[in-house]
Amino acid sequence: MSTTTTLDKLFDSVSECLTVDTANRLANLSLPESLRQQLDEWADQNSLGQLDDVEKNHYEAILRALNFITVLQAKARRIVATSQP
């Protein structure tokens, strides 16, 4: 089984825990502006090689978390879409 297939099954299992209401809330979740600005700064600094190891690890951890949330949001949107008549 590929990593992608395994991760998809994991995300499906998590999304099965969502009600339509929580799926809708998750689908509409957005980043606070202050975090968005900080990520933009880190992205610029990272592309210039200006992040120290601690900052780079922190930045990469946040990006991994955001990727996780993005996949969950896609699953949530599917739940909301299929629940509407």
Q: Are 22 and 79 in contact (CB under 8 A)?
A: no
Output the pLDDT for position 61.
95
Neighbours of 8 (CB within 10 A): 13
pTM, full prediction:
0.81
Q: For 20-75, write each residue's pLDDT tens digit.
A: 999 999 999 999 999 999 999 999 999 999 999 999 999 999 999 999 999 999 99
